[in-house]
Amino acid sequence: MGLLQNIIFGVITGSYIAIAAIGFNLIYGIVNMINFAYGEYLTLGAFIGLFAATALPIPLPVAVLVAMAGGGLVSIVLARAFFTPINQTGPVPLLLTSIGLGIALRNAIRLVAGREARYYDTETTTFRFDAVPDLSVGSVDLLGGFFVTSKQLIVVASAVAVFVAIYGLLTRTDVGIAMRAMGDDESLARVRGIDTQLIRDSVWVLAGILAGLSGVLLAIQTNVSATTGFSQILQILSAAILGGAGSPYGAIVGAYLIGIVLALSTAFLPSGMSGLSSAIAFGILILVLLVKPSGIAGAEVREA
Amino acid sequence: MSLLDRVPTGNGDLALLAGVCCVLIGGLFALTPLRAQLPSALYVFVEVGILFVIYGLLVLGLDLQYGHTGLVNFGHVAFFAVGAYGTAMLSAQDTFAGIGLGYPWPLALGVGVAAAALVGLAVSATSIRLRGDFLAIVTLAAAEILHSVFVNFEGIFGGNVGILGVPRPIAALAGDADTRLIATLLVIGGITLVSLAGVTRLTSAPYGRVLRAIRADELVTRSVGKSTVTYKTQAFVYGAALAGLAGGLFALYNGAVAPGFFTIQVTVTVWIGMLLGGAANHRAVLAGLAIIMGLRLISRFALDVTPVPSDVFASIRLIVVGLILVTVIRYRPAGIWGDAQELGVDR
Amino acid sequence: MSLLSADALVKEFGGLRAVDGLSVSVEAGELVGVIGPNGAGKSTLFNCISGVVTPDEGVVTYDGTEVTGDPPEALARRGLVRTFQATRELETMTVRDNVRLAAPDQPGEQTVPALVRTESMQTVEQSVRTRADELLETFELDHLADEYSANLSGGQRKLLELARALMLDPSVLMLDEPFAGVNPTLTDEIAEHIRELNENGMTVVIIEHELETLTELVDRLVVLQQGRVLVDGQPEDVLSDDRVIEAYLGGGV
């Protein structure tokens, strides 16, 4: 397989990570917490979508919308129940609470849905491009034949749609502009008459919607089980912090970087060591935190 | 008479005395033909008890880092694993996979502890200045990296099988299974008690005052002349070394190490035990850990009397554990026995 | 040669020059007041001197050596001790521990003596406790010694911070707004303590808003404006200086 094909894989992985990482970073920027339970929101979204598509049944695109709505609802309910009451206690208690909530949610899902993985019933068309020249440099083919599936195109298209929508939201709507103001300086935003609790709630809903979408896309690509989201949380977190804690646009850059690094290291690590690819992603994260702790774009995370 | 006069009290010296006694009695079981008899109903208690005293070392180290100094280490299992793998790889003979060098176990244990301390030093040298929640992320990520290194470098660490054929010194000396378990519990429990005495002395001395000042306000602590980075590094390394000791003892008790023993679940268990008991109070964190690990006993017994499959019970137990963490932080942020004013969570 | 001097200090925050080519020097045994409107750079000056921030340009000299950018702990150990504008008590520690913490040269702050409980640690700790209790008595905080300092009033916090700084036996004491938010009676009391310390040979530098207390107290006043020294001289000369009246008193006098 050529380099090109692996980069395509990386872009696809980066796409659903990016959607989730935007949500993760919105929470980080506005609520000022690292939400370790966020992976479970993806899992819940994926299961809600699966339930809507198979048990009801409704067409898949509608099921995706249902999953997004469900994700938003789950997110705001959980935030109201668990995070909002302890909003003032600082980042560490919030992080610990999210870890406890994540454990409870993950096991509750396992209890209800069982251990085995479930699959979305979808049809896939594969588009092949075999006539591309290899353009070899040493043992590496820079181009080479490649393929994409219709599912993969949907993932990338959804991500692009999300980016456009988020950009529009943050620049064109009152709520979005208030979100940015609050991310910059909460007390100033309050002085300006922004209802900070309302904005926080909106962020929770928005982050839940994004988690729901990302979860369904992930499940369509692979499958869904109780640990689907949890297995992604460190990648999401890496992407978000890599891009710059609190910055939704940075999250996009971070996500594609992580996605491509994951894909390339899976392809080029010696066989039997492909499991190290996530370790490489975390290694990059640690390196970024040490060299430029504010990420590609973002706030200071060292102590004064 | 004169011995009784010198029995120390308070500040952990009782723990020191009890710890030394435990090790001596445990040694007596192991080295002499003395035999212990254990009713079969108690087996499970002793087994969980051994795991508890091993995890007890973990929670004492973590409490030194977080409870006293305020360092949010969410990768504690990494140091546990380094101690265990270091000890196992140096001492193992005829391991199925990975490296086993077959050196004497005391040397191996020493190297295991030193390796954990060194990894702790490396992590703290790079990350100790990060803000609390980001230190948590870096340590967590470091633990995950280490975990996948253990899994993926099969030739060195034995992959998912791990390292087998680690010597079990107590088991080798003690005659039968009952004596073996009792002696192990006494010896490791004694070491944990001695460690408790050590950290108690450390934290009740002026040394502990500096640690707690750093947790309260690092800049002020610096402005009265304390090199806070040195203290933070020391606290982190000592905690890592204690975790390494726990890992080494685990390897020598279990006779094998594998990645499955060193998941994030260990870190979470120890954290919840610490927060439930009350951070910055050594006996409280041990008691909190005992409660959390006691839940394992309950689910084991419940398993015997109900027809529900074991994985369902495991899920229910973990839901309870997660909710305990959430509830403690919200309603009792100082834990059961912690001092709310000392921890600054009074409201 | 001055005991403490700052020469042509510059410090920028996000493009804003908080301190802009500022030079001040303090002689041994002096009692100097630094005043200026909000944003004049008083606290930044203190932060640059005490090593809390490193100046972008300029040199800080203390006791004959250059100390620019030296960390606060190193300067504190050499006798240059400061307090903070918003009192920073170690709220999760008792009043007595707040003061005891600052004791220099306690061997029990190292691992091995702490583990072994050496005689010297015990002896030193005994004298540290005596000294701390003396200071608490001087500042009339002795009845609160076992309280957590979170429970103290604003004025008591100022006193505690002073006691903690004195535990280090400083040569130069830098006080950042020691009278802010303190009632008049206590203000006089704190001023009296400062005067006494100075008379016993301690060099003191005070940042302050409250002009009245300061003019009576200090030997010399330095007025800052927009990160620069506006006037530097005897209190009575400074107060009658037109530029000071214009800048600091808003021209309304």
Asked whether residue B4 carries a pLDDT value surpassing 70, the answer given is: no
B327 falls within a domain: no
Minimal-distance CA residue of chain C relative to B205: C114
Q: Which amino acid is at B254?
A: N
B297 falls within a domain: no
Other Cβ atoms less than 10 A from the Cβ of C230: the count is 19
Tell me the range of B231-245, B264-278, B319-333 where mean pLDDT is highest: B231-245
| pLDDT of amino acid B106 | 96
Cα gap B291→C63, rounded to integer Å: 57
B295 falls within a domain: no
Residues, chain B, total?
A: 347
Cα gap B45→B38, rounded to integer Å: 11
B296 touches chain C (CB under 8 A): no
What's the domain range around B201?
Answer: 12-29+39-263
Query: Into how many domains does chain B fold?
Result: 1
Closest by CA to B290, choosing from B53, B34, B3, is B53
| pLDDT of amino acid A277 | 75
Cα gap C196→B93, rounded to integer Å: 74
Cα gap C20→C42, rounded to integer Å: 11
Report whether A130 contacts A145 (CB < 8 A).
Answer: yes
| pLDDT of amino acid A302 | 47
Cα gap B264→B227, rounded to integer Å: 32
Asked whether residue C32 carries a pLDDT value surpassing 90, the answer given is: yes
A273 vs C9, higher pLDDT: C9
- Split at pLDDT 50, 70, 90, the class of C15 is confident
Furthest-apart CA pair in chain C: how many Å?
66
Cα gap A199→C180, rounded to integer Å: 36
| pLDDT of amino acid B10 | 61
Task: Name the least confident of A114-128, C98-112, C181-195.
Answer: A114-128
Alpha-helical segments (H) within C139-241: 154-166, 184-199, 211-217, 235-240
| pLDDT of amino acid B1 | 37
Distances (CA, A) of B36 to A248, B96, B205, B250, C219: 63, 33, 40, 22, 82
Closest by CA to C117, choosing from B240, B10, B258, B345, is B10
Query: Nearest C-alpha of chain B: how many angstroms from A280?
Result: 8
Task: Name the least confident of A125-139, B112-126, C21-35, C125-139.
Answer: A125-139
Query: Nearest C-alpha of chain B: how many angstroms from A65?
Result: 29
| pLDDT of amino acid B302 | 76
Nearest to A290 among B126, B316, B329 (CB): B126
Average pLDDT over residues B146-155: 90
| pLDDT of amino acid C210 | 66
| pLDDT of amino acid A296 | 61
Backbone angles phi, psi at A261, to 5 degrees: -60, -45
| pLDDT tens digits for range C203-228 | 999 998 767 778 888 999 998 888 88
| A255-277 exposure pattern, b = at least 16 Cβ within 10 A, e = fewer | bbbbbbbbbbbbbeeeeebebbb
Whole-number percent of chain C with pLDDT over 70: 97
Burial class from Cβ neighbours inside 10 Å (0-12, 13-18, 19+) for residue C193 reads: middle
C138 vs A295, higher pLDDT: C138
Cα gap A240→A244, rounded to integer Å: 6
**Per-domain residue ranges of chain A:** 3-291
CB contact under 8 A, A276 and B218: no
**How open is the CA angle A262-A21-A41, to the nearest 5 degrees?**
105
- Split at pLDDT 50, 70, 90, the class of B273 is very high
Give the architecture-level CATH label for domain A3-291.
Orthogonal Bundle (1.10)
Tell me the range of A133-142, B115-124, C13-22 where mean pLDDT is highest: B115-124
pTM here?
A: 0.89
> Which DSSP letter does residue A270 get?
P
Interface list for B 3-32 with A (CB within 8 A): none
Predicted confidence pLDDT, tens digits, chain A (304 residues): 778 888 999 999 999 999 999 999 999 988 889 999 999 999 999 999 999 998 888 888 899 999 999 999 999 999 999 999 998 888 889 999 999 999 999 999 999 988 888 888 887 888 888 777 777 777 777 777 788 888 888 999 999 999 999 999 988 988 888 888 888 777 778 877 888 889 999 999 999 999 999 999 999 988 899 988 988 888 898 898 888 777 888 899 999 999 998 888 888 777 767 677 778 878 888 887 777 666 665 554 444 3
Other Cβ atoms less than 10 A from the Cβ of B35: the count is 12
Tell me the range of A126-135, C34-43, C124-133 where mean pLDDT is highest: C124-133
CB contact under 8 A, C72 and B222: yes
Asked whether residue C13 carries a pLDDT value surpassing 50, the answer given is: yes
CB contact under 8 A, A289 and B136: no
Residues, chain A, total?
A: 304
B213 touches chain C (CB under 8 A): yes
B64 falls within a domain: yes
Closest by CA to B22, choosing from B166, B147, B247, B189, is B189
Mapped to the 3 state alphabet, what secondary structure does A42-105 carry?
HHHHHHHHHHHHHCCCCCHHHHHHHHHHHHHHHHHHHHHHHHHHHHHHCHHHHHHHHHHHHHHH
Asked whether residue B2 carries a pLDDT value surpassing 60, the answer given is: no
Question: Subunits touching C (CB < 8 Å, at least 3 pairs)?
Answer: B
Question: What is the overall mean pLDDT for chain C?
Answer: 88
Interface list for A 176-235 with B (CB within 8 A): 234
Looking at the DSSP bridge assignments, the partners of residue B151 are none
State the complex-level ipTM. Answer: 0.90
Q: C-chain residues within 8 Å CB-CB of B206?
A: 100, 103, 106, 108-109, 114, 121, 125, 128
Residue A21 tokens, joined: 């990482």
Cα gap A252→B134, rounded to integer Å: 20
- What residue ranges define each of the domains in chain C, with the CATH number in brackets? 4-89+168-247 (3.40.50.300), 93-151 (no CATH)
